[in-house]
Amino acid sequence: MRTPTPSVYIRGMGVYMPERRLTNADLERLVETSDEWIRTRTGMVERRIAAPEDSTSDLGTRAAEKAIVDAGISKEDIDLVIVATVTADQTFPSTACKIQAKLGLRTDIPAFDMIAACSGFVYMMQVANHMLRAGDYKNVLIITAEKLSSIVNWEDRSTCVLFGDGAAAFVLTKCNEPYVGILGNILGADGSQGDLLTLPAGGSMNPASYETVRNKEHCLTMAGNQVFKIAVRTMSECCVRLLEKCNVTADQIKWVIPHQANMRIVDAVARQIKVPLEKFCINIEKTGNTSACSIPICMEETYRAGKIQPGDLVLLTAFGGGFTWGATLIRWK
Ligand SMILES: CC(C)(COP(=O)(O)OP(=O)(O)OC[C@H]1O[C@@H](n2cnc3c(N)ncnc32)[C@H](O)[C@@H]1OP(=O)(O)O)[C@@H](O)C(=O)NCCC(=O)NCCS
């Protein structure tokens, strides 16, 4: 298979994880749960919690600074900023505009947010890929940043044990080498089931009121059991379709980097797409579910550990609120 040039590849990566660790033992003191339940039902052991004074744009800015240095370019070389988050600092101005200002980037470049919840990274990869291929851009800064601790209901044991904070940033760049970088991408969405995983209040449909605050409607809610089954099906289906589309067989894949929502979801996807679990990169025990950040945080960690080499085929897949889902195939440059 040949991708038409220009190709779009990952030139630099940066991750920022907050210092504070929230362990399963800490959660046992907050709600009626147990370390044993959380480990066996989710695979999670601890997650990071951002400092109260840090907003999502602070987390994203720190990750972005590292990514720009890692890419070996200067801030002036960035010509587009996209941020995927469900915990924007505010509805507007966008978190992308805030990060642009905090980094001191040029002002003759666009900056915008996009919402695809936990699928935000694979959605953003596709948007950046096409904007780079079609447009005048050379270096695009894509950032995922989440302060999920700010929208978690700390009295709801079915959700509060699952989520953590973090940020990751990648610099994507155009090059003329064929068949490297992003080889293909498949995305999907089903808005008809959106209420199964949602932040009920605060928007135009249900504006903030004393009642919405009292009822904790500014916190996320999830019908975990139903979400679980749809996540397994959609992630598996889009991986299989993407491999077919790219004319790649499952055994050619070096690594699969899945969204880290639940270890049992990862297990089930591995069985469905017939890729051994040993090829799946997992860091869920340390991070919990960091929404759009989970794939890039895990990818950066896998790369820094020396496990991803030039030429390796890496498959990413995610599922999230919306519902949204997707898969991306990368040949490492
Ligand atoms: C949330 C999730 C871990 C729950 O696991 P589950 O096996 O489906 O558990 P259930 O929701 O069926 O609940 C089973 C029991 O555990 C209990 N339970 C739920 N959370 C608990 C906790 N933290 N500690 C102890 N017990 C808990 C429930 O109350 C229920 O008890 P009951 O049988 O007495 O009613 C799982 O459904 C999941 O991961 N869902 C998908 C999440 C996801 O993919 N998100 C992706 C988008 S971000």
Tell whether 163 and 28 lie within a shared domain: yes
User: What is the chain's mean pLDDT, rounded?
Assistant: 97
Tell whether 323 and 196 lie within a shared domain: yes
Task: Establish whether 118 is a catalytic residue.
Answer: yes
Stretch 302-315: mean pLDDT: 98
Tell whether 201 and 173 lie within a shared domain: no
Catalytic-labelled residue, pool 259, 262, 293, 298: 259
How many domains does one find in the chain?
Answer: 2
Tell whether 166 and 58 lie within a shared domain: yes
Stretch 207-222: mean pLDDT: 98
Which of 158, 160, 289, 325 for mutating ligand 1's site (highest number of atoms within 8 Å of CB)?
158
Tell whether 199 and 318 lie within a shared domain: yes
Residue 209 confidence class, pLDDT cut points 50, 70, 90: very high
Q: What is the pLDDT of residue 3?
A: 57
Is the confidence at residue 1, as pLDDT, over 70? Answer: no
Q: Would you state the structure tokens that stand for residue 246, as one six-digit string?
A: 């790219």
pLDDT in tens, 223-274: 999 999 999 999 999 999 999 999 999 999 999 999 999 999 999 999 999 9
Is the confidence at residue 44, as pLDDT, over 70? Answer: yes
Tell whether 167 and 272 lie within a shared domain: no
Considering the domain boundaries, does residue 31 fall inside one? Answer: yes
Tell whether 162 and 220 lie within a shared domain: no
Q: What is the pLDDT of residue 4?
A: 61
Tell whether 158 and 292 lie within a shared domain: no
Considering the domain boundaries, does residue 2 fall inside one? Answer: no
Tell whether 114 and 51 lie within a shared domain: yes
pLDDT in tens, 94-137: 999 999 999 999 999 999 999 999 999 999 999 999 999 998 89
Considering the domain boundaries, does residue 188 fall inside one? Answer: yes
Q: What is the CATH number of the domain that holds 211?
A: 3.40.47.10
Considering the domain boundaries, does residue 15 fall inside one? Answer: yes
Q: Residue 18 sits in which domain range?
A: 7-178
Measured in Å, residue 179 CA sits from the centre of ligand 1 at 42
Tell whether 201 and 138 lie within a shared domain: no
Q: Which of 147, 178, 209 marks a domain boundary?
A: 178
pLDDT in tens, 153-203: 999 999 999 999 999 999 999 999 989 999 999 999 999 999 999 999 999
Q: Which residues line ligand 1 (CB under 6 A)?
A: 33, 37-38, 41-42, 118, 157-158, 161, 197, 224-225, 227-228, 231, 261-262, 265, 289, 319-320
Q: Model-level pTM?
A: 0.97
Task: Establish whether 130 is a catalytic residue.
Answer: no
Which of 33, 225, 234 for mutating ligand 1's site (highest number of atoms within 8 Å of CB)?
225
Q: What is the pLDDT of residue 5?
A: 73
Q: What is the pLDDT of residue 135?
A: 81
Tell whether 215 and 133 lie within a shared domain: no
Q: What is the pLDDT of residue 165?
A: 98
Q: What percent of the chain has pLDDT over 90?
A: 97
